[in-house]
Amino acid sequence: MSMPSHDTAHSIAIVGAGFTGSILAAHLLRKAEEPTRIHLIERAGTLGTGLAYSTDSAAHLLNVRAYNMSAYPDDPRHFLRWLWAKDLGGDVPPSGHAFVSRRLYGEYIRDVLREAQAESPAHVTLDTVRAEVVDAAVDGGVRLSLADGTSLAVDRAVLCVGHFPPSPPSIPAPEVFASDRFVGDPWNREAVAAIDPDAPVLILGTGLTMVDVVLSLENQGHRGPILALSRRGLLPTTHLETRPFKSFVHPQTLPGTVLDVLIALKADVRRAREEGLDWRAAFDSLRPFHPLIWKHLPLEERQRFLRHARPYWEVHRHRMAPEVAARIEALRESGQLTVRAGRLQSLVSTPDGVEATVRARGAEGALWTRTVGAIINATGTECDFARIRHPLMRALLQQGLARPDPLRLGLDVTEEGALIGEDGAVSDRLFALGPVSRAPFWEMTAVPELRSQCADAALTLVRQAASKSLAE
């Protein structure tokens, strides 16, 4: 591995080559005006896919329509043109209201990166490095320590580490968690594929991750009953095509409480229906204003939203593709899939599997038990860094170079993505983008938000490179 020489080239390391890291690299390749060396570091063997687009199943569809999935915010039809040029669009209409496979989208991101690299000017270079970053030190620059014992010195580093697997349930069941009957990572394809096709399965969580797991089980011919459990038993809603609608939001009169947001949103839903539109039109019209509303809400109101409104918000905000929803409904109607509301009380190993005890939701809160052959933890990605064991994240926190945000949504960062240290100081060397940077925005997990964040971050880094050049 070559070490960057500290010449006139501004060196940037991007840790993680999923969607965020790859798109950031593509923007830098397009926008860098000064000599720039980019190191794209990924511990897995592929670029562009990350957790979201690494699936090999054609049944796992995007949950955002194709029109909204362009890598470039200033070119919204870029993905559509890619689909049509490769004759991969199938039935994708001009409106772009179609939901293609995530596997196909991963191919698109790899093509975006290859195209940006091929068209980049000579003064910008991209090195792809297969390695795991385990530590970082800041002293006039950034030195990244790699798992193989080598290191990489750069001017700035951007953490694009994506999502982290869910933590085990907060119940004392170490024997179960250590057994092969417990699948702690729902994206572990080998572990899911090893489940006995006749075994009863308990899935913890009823959101989009659960939906993916159920589709994977069905695709591999699973015959046993599947029980999906969450505290409220809420399923994601279904996408429908709708027309544009003007949101109630005005920058000069932003709602100051969660209740105000919900009241105004309900009024918009009524207004949309009067215009012959679905509630989705009103909900979607609010999306561009999410960061503005979140920024305006006081901390206690953000806490109130997370405690009370978040589950209901997310099932309306993060929806299923119609084809996916139809498959889930068919499994429920056949009786193979059951969705229940309740709180997991205990897990006990038995000769036949694992006995799960659940307290049902509601005033009575009756206890019931079910013996299952496998448990899959699909409660969603872990955001609490007190429970995340990622070596680089642990190292940054222990050194005080980073800190969790007050709401435990991710790392504490500025709106530009600069890490905020334990002492409150804003770093000019370390940045974080993607899901770990959602604290200032609330929404920072889907492509429409991530691509804009990457474009803005690239401009920030390019300006810093220009400042370095002037200083020299």
Tens-digit pLDDT profile for residues 256-269: 999 999 998 999 99
Range(s) of the domain holding residue 312: 258-317
Residue 1 has pLDDT above 90, yes or no: no
**Co-location of 121 and 231 in the same domain:** no
Q: How many domains does one find in the chain?
A: 3
Sign of CA dihedral 70, 72, 73, 75: negative
For residue 138, give the nearest of 463, 433, 455, 425 by alpha carbon: 425
Q: What are the φ and ψ backbone dihedral angles of 189, each rounded to 5 degrees?
A: -60, -40
Residue 404, pLDDT score:
94
Residue at token pair 């809603």: 237
Residue 303: count other Cβ atoms within 10 Å of its Cβ. 14
**Co-location of 396 and 364 in the same domain:** no
Residue 65 lies inside a defined structural domain of this protein: yes
Q: Report the 3 state secondary structure along the chain.
A: CCCCCCCCCEEEEEECCCHHHHHHHHHHHHHCCCCEEEEEEECCCCCCCCCCCCCCCCCCECCCCHHHCCCCCCCCCHHHHHHHHCCCCCCCCCCCCCCCEHHHHHHHHHHHHHHHHHHCCCCEEEEEEECCEEEEEECCCEEEEECCCCEEEECEEEECCCCCCCCCCCCCCHHHHCCCCEECCCCCHHHHHCCCCCCCEEEECCCHHHHHHHHHHHHCCCCCCEEEEECCCCCCCECCCCCCCCCCCCCCCCCCCHHHHHHHHHHHHHHHHHCCCCHHHHHHHCHHHHHHHHHHCCHHHHHHHHHHHHHHHHHHHCCECHHHHHHHHHHHHHCCEEEEEEEEEEEEEECCEEEEEEEECCCCCCEEEEEECEEEECCCCCCCCCCCCCHHHHHHHHHCCCCECCCCCCECECCCCEEECCCCCEEEEEEECCHHHCCCCCCCCCHHHHHHHHHHHHHHHHHHHHHHHHHC
Residue at token pair 């039109």: 281
Residue 417 has pLDDT above 90, yes or no: yes
Give residue-wise pLDDT tens across range 356-411. Answer: 999 999 867 799 999 999 999 999 888 888 788 899 999 999 999 999 999 999 99
Residue 48 has pLDDT above 60, yes or no: no
Residue 249, pLDDT score:
82
Residue 162, pLDDT score:
87
Boundary-marking domain end, from 334, 356, 377 = 377
Residue 204 lies inside a defined structural domain of this protein: yes
Question: Confidence band (pLDDT; 50, 70, 90) for 458?
Answer: very high
Rounded to the nearest 5 degrees, what angle is found at the Cα of 431, between the Cα atoms of 425 and 434? 125
Residue 459: count other Cβ atoms within 10 Å of its Cβ. 14
Q: What are the φ and ψ backbone dihedral angles of 311, each rounded to 5 degrees?
A: -60, -40
**Co-location of 48 and 151 in the same domain:** yes
Sign of CA dihedral 218, 221, 226, 231: negative
Question: How far apart, in whole angstroms, are the C-alpha atoms of residue 89 and residue 81?
Answer: 9
β-bridge pairing 10-15 and 36-42: parallel
Percent of the chain with pLDDT over 70: 93
**Co-location of 73 and 142 in the same domain:** yes
Query: For 161-188, what is the mean pLDDT?
Result: 93
Structure tokens at 391: 């070596």
Pairwise pLDDT comparison (332 vs 140), residue with the higher score: 332
CATH assignment at residue 349: 3.50.50.60
Residue 5, pLDDT score:
41
Residue 246 lies inside a defined structural domain of this protein: no
Residue 251 lies inside a defined structural domain of this protein: no
Structure tokens at 109: 């991101």
Residue 52, pLDDT score:
59
Residue 1 lies inside a defined structural domain of this protein: no
Residue 15 lies inside a defined structural domain of this protein: yes
Boundary-marking domain end, from 362, 377, 392 = 377
Mean pLDDT of the chain: 90
Structure tokens at 471: 């200083």
Residue 309, pLDDT score:
93
Residue 287 has pLDDT above 90, yes or no: no
Residue 468, pLDDT score:
59
Give residue-wise pLDDT tens across range 182-209. Answer: 999 999 999 999 999 999 999 999 999 9
Spatial contact of 200 and 372, defined as CB atoms under 8 Å apart? yes
Spatial contact of 160 and 21, defined as CB atoms under 8 Å apart? yes
Residue 172 has pLDDT above 80, yes or no: yes
Instruction: Supply the pTM of this predicted model.
Output: 0.88
Residue 188 lies inside a defined structural domain of this protein: yes
Residue 282: count other Cβ atoms within 10 Å of its Cβ. 25
Pairwise pLDDT comparison (431 vs 3), residue with the higher score: 431
Spatial contact of 459 and 25, defined as CB atoms under 8 Å apart? no
**Co-location of 87 and 153 in the same domain:** yes
Residue 453 has pLDDT above 50, yes or no: yes
Residue 2, pLDDT score:
38
Question: Confidence band (pLDDT; 50, 70, 90) for 221?
Answer: very high
**Co-location of 276 and 409 in the same domain:** no
Residue 248 lies inside a defined structural domain of this protein: no
**Co-location of 307 and 440 in the same domain:** no
**Co-location of 137 and 96 in the same domain:** yes
Boundary-marking domain end, from 301, 317, 333 = 317
Residue 53 has pLDDT above 60, yes or no: no
**Co-location of 362 and 424 in the same domain:** no
Give residue-wise pLDDT tens across range 101-140. Answer: 888 888 999 999 999 999 999 999 999 999 999 999 999 8
Residue 7, pLDDT score:
53
Query: For 3-7, what is the mean pLDDT?
Result: 44
**Co-location of 27 and 129 in the same domain:** yes
Residue 346 β-bridge partners: 357
Query: For 427-441, what is the mean pLDDT?
Result: 94
Which residues make Cβ contacts (< 8 Å) with residue 259, sequence separation at least 6? none
**Co-location of 461 and 445 in the same domain:** yes
Which residues make Cβ contacts (< 8 Å) with residue 450, sequence separation at least 6? 19, 20, 23, 433, 434, 444
| C-alpha distances out from residue 256 to 88, 376, 440, Å | 46, 39, 16
Query: For 244-249, what is the mean pLDDT?
Result: 86
Query: For 30-40, what is the mean pLDDT?
Result: 93
**Co-location of 333 and 198 in the same domain:** yes
